[in-house]
């Protein structure tokens, strides 16, 4: 029988698996504590488990790992890790320090990305595959081992489209949220999507109090299709309707991410259109300064233009914040470090 990665199971799944194989269900909870709370990476080091049970684990399961390829640290303390998976694929995870009391880990959900947004490096080399549940969790375990504690917030905003890997992302969130594993509150976990409409509908039915962030980046179809080809499949106005339904159904606020790119989507006319598009619902806007790669023809607007765009939205009663891109000096935007490494 092919061995299974223990970190691909939720607690309930592992209890059922143990029971099916003739083992006691409570062993699953013990194992979760060793793997996720203590970060132990070898069954032999789980000393309170009977020797016979550890042998059973070796015969049926294994513990995957992840390897650090490169580490870089920014002047603003942002840390970026280039990580190699067991099949040789490369992903990124980023630690963002708002303060010592608020540390956010930005994790990847896929190797590559199908959607090839104009401003994003993640899709430039195409899509390879989805990450497994264990590969998602191993990013968090890697950082936890380094920090000796969990990050305070998890955002699925790294390489890949999380809702395109829906089942594995939701299972990973279940384990991140579990009191027997990481015990990270659901509202401390954010899924960021380019707007996969069927998956947003599915998410609103799964009854998880996670935060949802939708990449908008334009208030009209033509411009959004230019910036984000996914808009050709899931058009803007259909997406907005689905987001409105999501807010009604879940009573949760949605954040619209809007990367400001100089001379393309940063005019005050677009601010007016954006306000008309999303006004009247429980939405807020996160304005992001574009983080250009070396040689990019796209540039970030001046801070005065960014502030004017925000003021225009605030006048229209759209809650709006400005997020200055972190780690600009270390290529910390999605996919940038991987692209440099693979050149």
Which CA distances in Å does 46 have to 26, 30, 34, 60? 15, 9, 7, 16
92 is known as an active-site residue: yes
Structure tokens at 21: 């194989």
Which listed residue (92, 105, 161, 257) is catalytic? 92
Q: How many residues does the chain have?
A: 343
Tell me the backbone φ, ψ of residue 283, rounded to 5 degrees.
-120, 155
Residues 6+ away with beta carbon under 8 Å from 79: 71, 72, 73, 94, 95, 97
Report the interhelical angle of 133-147 vs 166-177 (nearest 10°). Answer: 40
Question: 168, exposed or middle or buried, with CB in 10 Å at 0-12, 13-18, 19+?
Answer: buried
Residue entry with tokens 């409570």? 26
What is the DSSP code string of 41-102? --GGG-TTS-HHHHHHHHHHEE----EEEEEEE-TT--EEEEEE-TTS-EEEEEEEEEETTE
Partners of 70 in the beta sheet? 82
Active-site annotation holder among 120, 174, 243, 334: 334
Q: Are 155 and 107 in contact (CB under 8 A)?
A: yes
Rounded Cα distance between 255 and 204, Å, is 15
Whole-angstrom distance, CA of residue 323 vs CA of residue 213 = 14
Which residues carry out catalysis?
92, 334
């Amino acid at each position: 029988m092919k061995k299974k990665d223990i970190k691909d199971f939720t607690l309930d799944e592992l209890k059922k698996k143990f029971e099916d194989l003739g083992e006691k269900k409570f062993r699953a909870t013990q194992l979760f504590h060793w793997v996720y709370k203590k970060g132990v990476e070898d069954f032999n080091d789980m000393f309170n488990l009977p020797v016979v049970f550890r042998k059973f684990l070796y015969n049926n399961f294994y513990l995957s790992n992840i390897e650090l390829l490169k580490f870089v640290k920014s002047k603003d303390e942002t840390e970026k890790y280039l990580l190699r998976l067991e099949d040789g694929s490369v992903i990124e995870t980023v630690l963002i320090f708002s303060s010592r009391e608020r540390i956010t880990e930005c994790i990847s959900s896929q190797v590559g990305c199908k959607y090839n947004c104009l401003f994003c490096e993640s899709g430039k080399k195409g899509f390879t595959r989805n990450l497994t549940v264990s590969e998602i969790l191993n990013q968090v375990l890697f950082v936890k081992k380094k920090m000796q504690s969990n990050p305070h917030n998890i955002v699925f905003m790294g390489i890949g489209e999380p809702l395109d890997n829906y089942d594995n992302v939701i299972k990973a969130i279940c384990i991140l949220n579990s009191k027997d594993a990481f015990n990270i509150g659901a509202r401390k976990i954010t899924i960021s999507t380019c707007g996969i409409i069927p998956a947003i509908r599915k998410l609103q039915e799964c009854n998880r109090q996670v935060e949802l962030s939708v990449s908008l980046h334009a208030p009209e179809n033509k411009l959004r299709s230019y910036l984000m080809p996914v808009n050709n499949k899931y058009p803007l106005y259909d997406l907005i309707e689905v987001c409105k339904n999501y807010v009604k159904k879940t009573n949760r606020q949605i954040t619209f991410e809007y990367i400001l790119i100089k001379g393309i989507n940063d005019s005050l006319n677009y601010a007016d259109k954006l306000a008309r598009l999303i006004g009247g619902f429980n939405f807020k806007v996160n304005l992001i300064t574009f983080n250009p790669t070396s040689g990019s023809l796209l540039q970030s607007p001046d801070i005065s233009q960014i502030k004017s765009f925000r003021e225009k939205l605030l006048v229209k009663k759209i809650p709006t914040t400005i997020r200055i891109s972190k780690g600009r000096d270390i290529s910390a935007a999605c996919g940038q470090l991987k692209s440099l490494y693979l050149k």
